[in-house]
């Protein structure tokens, strides 16, 4: 901006040295995506892949030094001890993708150095289905979002809220979509993933009795296969409703109105996403205004994270900060305002110099009362 007294501009400067802590569920994307973004903003980067995806971690640690200057970009591999030591160092920005529990540990460590953090966490992403929804397309988009990576996605639909009168028709549409995508034998489908390790398989297996199986329910421990399963007769206090599922189990909780669904969601921690299937404009506006989440996607799942023109991130329990596209560049940059004052027209400054008087105060008040132009 320019006026009679000065020129002003904004300069984007890299933070400096950034720590990127990737996640195991999309171990390439969630390491290299933030790396590229931080690199574009001019930072040096240390990448810490998740130890729960060891083969990918090894691959990244082998390939990255071949293509990027190791003076500016390094990979650190290892488990909890290595990560603990890494977090003792002073970084200029930390980005972590993973669970809320570990996010608190990262934020505590960052606070020792007043280091800003970008936390991409998770939470229980609800799906509201009202009486106006197209159940066929809704079911296909829900099953796709839940079946992707066997439900091991931070944005995966976690539970469904729908009126009791719609439940049976919705279950039938969901089952038809599952059959269309994965066939009669889901275990034989080349498009369906497995659970990452035995610990998560056991955790998910224990959640299965939280409701009545409407369809699915097959388990195969040796392959860590869990069939995409829809549960009904699920109560709000059941075990599956107390934690992020992060797997292919999809409970349905009956909710008789959009008002009741909103109340149900707002009684819980802010999720990374809220999904609404509706053709009612008022319901869309109501859910937009009255729920608080990282993002809202109407009549689809996951897809709001794809366009680079939209920021992606959580709020509250589901994280802080946003990235993707230009938002990512901004997340890894400090925006520095620069003012260049002219050395002349000194008479303009007399108003702010002592000695002060009522006349000066009145003139200053008049000048400062002008509405700024943004």
Cα distance between residue 360 and residue 363, in whole Å:
5
Estimate to the nearest angstrom the gap between the alpha carbon of 13 and the chain centroid.
25
Q: pLDDT at residue 2 above 60? A: no
pLDDT at 372: 67
Average pLDDT over residues 321-330: 96
Average pLDDT over residues 102-126: 96
φ/ψ region of 323 (left if φ > 0, alpha if ψ in -120 to 50, else beta) reads beta
Poorest-pLDDT segment among 74-83, 192-201, 278-287, 361-370: 361-370
What does the pLDDT look like over 153-206, one tens digit per residue? 999 999 999 999 999 999 999 999 999 999 999 999 999 999 999 999 999 999
Q: pLDDT at residue 71 above 70? A: yes
Nearest to 153 by CA among 259, 228, 51: 228
Cα distance between residue 22 and residue 29, in whole Å:
9
Average pLDDT over residues 335-358: 87
What does the pLDDT look like over 4-24, one tens digit per residue? 567 899 999 999 999 999 999
Average pLDDT over residues 64-71: 92
Q: pLDDT at residue 233 above 60? A: yes
Task: Return the residue matching tokens 């109501």.
Answer: 286
Average pLDDT over residues 116-141: 97
Q: If 0-12 CB within 10 Å is exposed, 13-18 middle and 19+ buried, where does residue 212 land?
A: exposed
Task: Label the pairing between strands 312-313 and 322-323.
Answer: antiparallel
Nearest to 340 by CA among 3, 5, 7, 1: 7
pLDDT band at 371 (very low <50, low <70, confident <90, very high): low
Query: Which residues, at least 6 apart from 243, have a Cβ–Cβ distance to it below 8 Å?
Result: 124
pLDDT at 352: 86
What does the pLDDT look like over 255-265, one tens digit per residue? 999 999 999 99
pLDDT band at 366 (very low <50, low <70, confident <90, very high): confident
Q: Work out the number of other CB atoms within 10 angstroms of the CB of residue 11.
A: 10
Nearest to 228 by CA among 273, 265, 183, 198: 183
54-75 residues labelled b (16+ CB within 10 A) or e (exposed): eebbeebeeebeeebeeeebbb
Average pLDDT over residues 256-275: 97
pLDDT band at 46 (very low <50, low <70, confident <90, very high): very high
Percent of the chain residues past pLDDT 70, beyond the cut: 97
Cα distance between residue 35 and residue 170, in whole Å:
41
The mean pLDDT of the chain is: 95
Active site residues: 120, 154
Task: Return the residue matching tokens 């009202």.
Answer: 130
Q: Contact, 223 vs 194, CB < 8 A?
A: yes
pLDDT band at 3 (very low <50, low <70, confident <90, very high): low
pLDDT at 79: 94
pLDDT band at 345 (very low <50, low <70, confident <90, very high): confident
Task: Label the pairing between strands 93-97 and 17-21.
Answer: parallel
Cα distance between residue 302 and residue 157, in whole Å:
8
Query: Which residues, at least 6 apart from 118, have a Cβ–Cβ distance to it below 8 Å?
Result: 93, 94, 95, 96, 313, 319, 320, 321, 322, 323, 331
Poorest-pLDDT segment among 163-167, 169-173, 270-274, 338-342: 338-342
Query: Which residues, at least 6 apart from 370, have a Cβ–Cβ distance to it below 8 Å?
Result: none
pLDDT band at 346 (very low <50, low <70, confident <90, very high): confident
pLDDT at 347: 78
Beta bridge partners of 335: 12
Average pLDDT over residues 348-365: 87
Query: Which residues, at least 6 apart from 119, have a Cβ–Cβ distance to it below 8 Å?
Result: 95, 96, 103, 106, 107, 314, 319, 320, 321
Nearest to 228 by CA among 209, 244, 251, 211: 251
């Amino acid at each position: 901006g320019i006026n009679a007294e000065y020129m002003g501009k904004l300069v984007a400067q890299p933070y400096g040295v950034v720590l990127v802590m990737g996640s195991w569920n999309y171990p390439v994307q969630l390491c290299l995506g933030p790396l590229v973004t931080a690199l574009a903003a001019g930072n040096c980067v240390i990448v810490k892949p998740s130890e729960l995806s060891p083969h990918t971690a090894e691959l990244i640690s082998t390939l990255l030094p071949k293509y990027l200057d190791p003076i500016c970009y390094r990979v650190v591999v290892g488990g909890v001890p290595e990560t603990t030591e890494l977090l003792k160092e002073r970084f200029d920005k930390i980005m972590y993708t993973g669970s809320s529990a570990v996010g608190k540990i990262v934020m505590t460590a960052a606070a020792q150095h007043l280091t800003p953090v970008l936390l991409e966490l998770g939470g229980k992403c609800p799906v509201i289905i009202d009486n106006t929804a197209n159940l066929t397309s809704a079911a296909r988009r829900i099953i796709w979002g839940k079946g992707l990576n066997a439900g091991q996605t931070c944005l995966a639909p976690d539970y469904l809220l729908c009126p009791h009168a719609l439940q049976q028709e919705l279950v039938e549409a969901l089952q038809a979509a599952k059959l269309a995508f994965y066939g009669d034998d889901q275990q034989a489908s080349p498009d369906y993933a497995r659970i990452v390790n035995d610990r998560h398989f056991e955790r998910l297996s224990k959640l299965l009795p939280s409701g009545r199986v409407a369809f699915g329910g097959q388990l195969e421990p040796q392959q860590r296969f869990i069939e995409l399963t829809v549960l009904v007769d699920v109560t709000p206090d059941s075990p599956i409703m107390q934690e992020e599922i992060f797997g292919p189990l999809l409970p349905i909780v009956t909710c008789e109105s959009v008002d009741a669904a909103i109340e149900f969601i707002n009684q819980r921690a802010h999720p990374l996403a809220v999904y609404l299937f509706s053709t009612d404009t008022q319901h869309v506006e109501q859910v937009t205004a009255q729920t608080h989440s990282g993002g809202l996607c109407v009549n689809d799942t996951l897809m709001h994270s794809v366009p680079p023109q939209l920021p992606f991130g959580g709020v509250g329990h589901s994280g802080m900060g946003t990235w993707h596209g230009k938002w990512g560049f901004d997340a890894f940059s400090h925006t520095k305002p620069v003012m260049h004052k002219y050395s002349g027209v000194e008479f303009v400054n007399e108003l702010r110099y002592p000695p002060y008087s009522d006349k000066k105060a009145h003139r200053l008040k008049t000048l400062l009362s002008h509405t700024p132009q943004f």
